[in-house]
Every structure is written in structure tokens, then in C-alpha cells.
A and B are shown apart, each in its own frame.
Chain A
Amino acid sequence: MTAGGDSADVTLHPADDSGSVRLSGAVTIRTVTAVQKHLSALDAETVTRLDLSDVTRLDTAGAWALLQFRHRAGHGVQITGATPEVDSLLRTVENAWPQPEEPPARDASFRAWLDRFGRRIHAGLMFLRALTAYLGIFLHRLARAVRHPSEFKLTSLVHHCEEVGLKAVPIVALMAFLIGVVLAFQGSTQLRQFGAEVFVVDLIAISILRELGILLTAIIVAGRTASAFTAAIGSMKMREEIDAMRTLGLDPGMNLFVPRILALLIMLPILGLIANIAGLFGGALMAWIDLGISPAMFTTRLVEGTAVSHVFVGLVKAPVFAMIIGVVGCHAGMQVESNAESLGRMTSNAVVTAIFAVIVADAVFSIFFARIGI
């Protein structure tokens, strides 16, 4: 029979009386599937010899198929008619024959499951502990910077303030403006049913000032800045720059963490304030267009109906969110190993962790403020 190949055909002549199987043509990776199928269809018991004298080309795949057949036959099938090159190839393949090893089996028992579950919990707790340690490092270095101002990197702080603060203003302002518009639009549709359109001002003011302004700003900053921190510190870690700093007596905490986290601490409340103003502006604009509440009326209602405490309740969260984002970003950057995959993995980890932690912290704040009645 003939096995189709690209340009090369291979033919397998069935065993003659002496049990000799003759192959002719090219036995290569292109024809190996057919060759192997035919060889395995042969009765291995009756074959004593594989004759290669008519084989025009044999590659490792072909050699593999022949040797596999010989292994299967068990008794010594002779391979004859091979040129010295083919002989050498057969020997190389034989010597390199893979010895399958069983990978360590995965234990499926309940005990093993419990073990893995416990390890996960343990890893989670260790992660929290590591974050706390980084927070400690930051606070310690900050205190040190107060006592030894000469060690503090002011230029670096200003640079990071620009990166995390100034450059985030457009996106944060736009986001808050649109949220204000959406709130006004949705609120007016609902409140109109009760003829209570004017309360849309309270709705916008309270939700933006108390919650949305700062929370959404923190989420945007977490996405923007936590990833940037991780990428910057991580690539330094990857290229051993952090180790070089240490050997030169430069402390990564003082030089990398303090300027970054401090910049966030300063800038996040400011960004939150900008978000509040942009949100109120968007809400006021939409209320004017959609409900005919004039800017003057909006302002009056805002001042009368909304306690100033809402602003403080919102902005007091900003430093906490800033710490979370900064510490998570720096910590993730320091976990980067010496390969590019870990840099990518840690960067996305940092963003997910930072956003998740910010939302958890916001929930805790909500419960806290509700309990003390602000």
C-alpha cells in the first residue's frame, strides 16, 4: 500500500516467507502517521526483519516509528539495509528514547482538599501580613524622613504628585461629570413620578459627596496608579536594580515607597474634591436641562439641604484609599521575579487587589458611619 505524502511516497511491502518487511520511499515526519499505522497493523510475531535498502530518506520521525515497532515486537527485529548515516540516526534515536515518568499524582481525597484549602487561607493571611508589613515600612520611613529631612526625596515626590495627581485630573473630572449627569437623569425620571423633582439635588449631592465621588476616583486611581507602581518597581526588581540600590546603601522603602505613597496621600483627596465639584457640576447641568432647575436654585437647595458633613464623610476616606492603593502597588512590585510573565501577572494582580480592597474599605466605612450616625 502507499501512504500519501507531500512529494514523497512510502511503500510497505508485507512480510515475505522469511518474515522480512521491505520499506521503500521516504520515511519522514510527513509519512510517519501512515507508516506507523501500517506497522502496528502487522503481526509483530511474524516479522523478523525490516529492510531499508529501498528507503530514500529517513528522518528522526521515521526512525522513531521503526524503533517503536521493534520495541513492540519484543524479540529482536533486525533492521537491515541501512546506510551508515541512517544507522547513526537510528542509534541516536535509540539512545535518546524517552523514558516516561509518572508526574506526581494529584491527591483527590477530602484530606488533600482540606489541605489545599487551608494553604489558600494561610496564603491569604500571609498576604495581609505582608501588606501590613509594607504599611509599617512606609510609616517608619516616613517618620524617619521627618527626623532626617535630608534623606527625603522631594524631587521624586513632586514628580510622582504630577504623575498620579495632575495627569489623572482630566479622566477623573470627566468620569465624575458623567456620573453627575447620569444621576440627575435617572433621579429625575424616578422622582418626577412623585412630583419631587427638586429632591434630585439632594440625591446628586449626597450620593456624589458621600460615596461616588471618592470611591470612583479611588477605583480609577487604583487602575491607573497601582499598576504603574507595580510596573515601575517590578521592572526595577526584574533588572536587579533594587538589589543594586541595597548594595549602594539606598533604602528602597525611603527612595521608592515613600515618594509614591506620599504622593498618593496628598493627591487622592485633591482628586476626590475635583471629582465632587465635577460631579455636582454635571448634575446641576443635567438638572437644569432636564428639569429646569436653574443653577441658582440648585445652589440654594444644595446649601440648604445638604449638610457639610457629607463632604467630610467622603473625603476622610481618601487617605485610607490612598494608603491601600500605594501599599498594594509597591508590595506587588516587590514580588516580581526575574521573568516578564511575573511582571504582567503582578501588575494585573495589583489592580484587582487594590480595587477590591478599596471597595471593602468603603463598605467598612459605610457601616462605621451608619453606626455612629453621621
Chain B
Amino acid sequence: MTDREVVIKLRGIRNQFGRQVVHEDLDLDVYRGEILGVVGGSGTGKSVLLRTIAGLQKPAAGSVDVLGTDVLNADEDTRQKLENRWGVMFQDGALFSSLTVRENVEVPMRAIPGLDPQVRRDLADLKISMVGLQYLAGDKYPSELSGGMRKRAGLARALALDPDIVFLDEPTAGLDPIGAAAFDELIRDLCHSLGLTVFLVTHDLDTLHATCDRIAVLAERKVLVTGSMADMLEVAHPWVHEYFHGPRARAAVPDKPTKGD
């Protein structure tokens, strides 16, 4: 694993709100082309970690290095370039409500100099179709879409510029099992064919099992352990054990013999 290119490198991250420390001395590496699932109990700062890497939250200490750029100390220009190389899908899509889905997907493309408006529209249609939305959904406003469709549209916008890294915040939360499974498959397929690196925050064990190459567990204010699903089952830490051996975990990972049962 060590010879693979590291695209996200976190060292000694410390995040705190007032006196409440969320992360302390947190280290994490994400490798190119992998789907990393980040799990952790409520309030362990999974979304905060995502926001920290995406530059939406400034950590109190530590360094964030994405694609070889120091995010925290980069100047405006470098940051702008970097932002074109990652895409973020927020929990409910976070689509601009005054724009249609197509216009939403076009927003990041507007930053490309000299891109023909007709080409931009066609590319937006392509992205909308790639995430499995109907052609006519492009003309609709976010309020006219269901939750699952909004997530797909949010993903289309995150993918607009063919980013190297995609951040997904709870991609399957609030979806029915069929919709969630379809979304898992979509992420897997797109990641494979577009060569994406995916940083995925989730609670959903099925998603972890179906999509992730590697899992990072957040607990005790740091990344407690990383590894594959099989590795997770071996971890002795009480919370991790409870998480991956609980009744829901057994339903999600039925074919693996679970130790300690």
C-alpha cells in the first residue's frame, strides 16, 4: 500500500469548537483511486473532517495536504486551481435553489475560460445522464426533485469538472434501500470509470460493504484504525467491535464469519 500515491495527507489535525475538542492529533492518508469510507459515532466529527479537508473549516492545528498542495497556506490562485480538482456532494445535494438542475451542473464549468455555452449545456446533460437522472430532470428546479434525485444532481455537480477527488457526505442517508443500493453502485461505477478518489462519510454499513476499499474509523478524537472490512472485523476496540459486529453489521456482512459471536 505504501508505494501508492497519497492524494490527501492529514497530519496532527486539531479541531475544536469552544472548549469542545473534536479532533486531536489526527493523521490520515488517502491513496489515489481508492474509495475511503469514514465511519464514527454521532458527534465524532466525520463531517467536520470532510469540511476541514475541503477547506470549509480551518483546523486549530495541523496540516492538510491535498494533491501536493498545502491547503491551509495556499494563496488564492492555488486554492482556486485546487478547488477545480475536487468536488463535494453535500448531504442533501446543496443545489442552488434558484437554478435548474442543468444550470447547477453548469456552475463549476463557468470557471473554464473559453468553454462554449452550447458545449457546456451538452456536457451538463451528459453528467446528468451519467448519474442516472432523466433528461427532463435537467429543466427542473431542486424543489421539484425527490431526495434521491437531489443527491444524484448534487453528485453530477460535484463531477462537473472531472475532479480527482470527490467528497461525499452521507450519500445514502434518507434513501430507501433500493435507492441506496443503486447509489452505491453508481459511486462504484463512476469511481472505476473516471478514476476518482472518493472520500465518503457514512453511517451506512451496506454502503461501506458495497463500495469502500478501505475504512477509517473515527473515535477518541482521532482516526483509530484504517483497513479493509475484513481488518475491521478483527479490531478489538469496544466501539469498533460493537459497530462491525452489531446486529445491523451482521445483516450487512452476512457471508463473513464474525469472530467473537
> Within A15-35, which residues are at the interface with B (CB < 8 Å)?
28-30, 32-34
In the bound complex, what is the Cα–Cα distance between A64 and B113 (angstroms)?
Answer: 18
Question: Which of A64, A99, A342 sits near B135, CB closer than 8 Å?
Answer: A99
In the bound complex, what is the Cα–Cα distance between A96 and B159 (angstroms)?
Answer: 14
Question: Is A89 a contact partner of B161 (Cβ separation < 8 A)?
Answer: no
In the bound complex, what is the Cα–Cα distance between A59 and B164 (angstroms)?
Answer: 11
Which chain A positions have C-beta within 8 A of B97?
340-341
Binds A, one of B36-44, B123-131, B201-209: B123-131
Q: Does B109 contact A (CB under 8 A)?
A: yes
Question: Is B126 a contact partner of A101 (Cβ separation < 8 A)?
Answer: no
Q: Total interface residues on A, using CB and 8 Å?
A: 30
Which chain B positions have C-beta within 8 A of A60?
123, 126-127, 130, 159, 162, 194
Question: Is B127 a contact partner of A97 (Cβ separation < 8 A)?
Answer: no
> Within A75-128, which residues are at the interface with B (CB < 8 Å)?
85, 88-89, 91-93, 96-101, 103
In the bound complex, what is the Cα–Cα distance between A242 and B97 (angstroms)?
Answer: 25
Question: Is B130 a contact partner of A341 (Cβ separation < 8 A)?
Answer: no
Which chain A positions have C-beta within 8 A of B227?
none
Which chain A positions have C-beta within 8 A of B115?
29-30, 32-33
In the bound complex, what is the Cα–Cα distance between A341 and B99 (angstroms)?
Answer: 13
Question: Which of A29, A33, A339 sits near B162, CB closer than 8 Å?
Answer: A29
Which chain B positions have C-beta within 8 A of A91?
193
Question: Is A64 a contact partner of B112 (Cβ separation < 8 A)?
Answer: no
Question: Is B192 a contact partner of A88 (Cβ separation < 8 A)?
Answer: yes
Question: Which of A33, A96, A98 sits near B119, CB closer than 8 Å?
Answer: A33
Which chain A positions have C-beta within 8 A of B12?
none
Q: Does A61 contact B (CB under 8 A)?
A: yes
> Within B108-150, which residues are at the interface with A (CB < 8 Å)?
109, 112-116, 119, 122-123, 125-130, 134-136, 139, 143
Query: Given that A29-B109, A33-B115, A103-B136 are contacting pairs, would A89 and B194 also be in contact in the complex, using a CB cutoff of 8 Å?
Result: yes
Q: Which 4 A-B pairs rank lowest in CB-CB distance, beginning with the nearest?
A: A59-B162, A92-B193, A96-B130, A98-B129
Interface residues of A (CB under 8 A from B): 28-30, 32-34, 36, 59-61, 64-65, 68, 85, 88-89, 91-93, 96-101, 103, 339-342
In the complex, besides A33-B114, A97-B129, A99-B129, 18 extra interface pairs with C-beta distance below 8 angstroms are A29-B109, A29-B162, A32-B119, A61-B162, A64-B126, A65-B119, A88-B193, A89-B194, A89-B195, A92-B189, A92-B190, A96-B129, A98-B125, A98-B128, A98-B135, A103-B136, A339-B143, A342-B143
Task: Jot down 15 A-B pairs with beta carbons below 8 A, ordered by A.
Answer: A28-B162, A29-B112, A29-B115, A30-B115, A32-B123, A33-B119, A60-B126, A60-B194, A61-B162, A88-B192, A89-B193, A92-B189, A92-B190, A101-B135, A340-B97
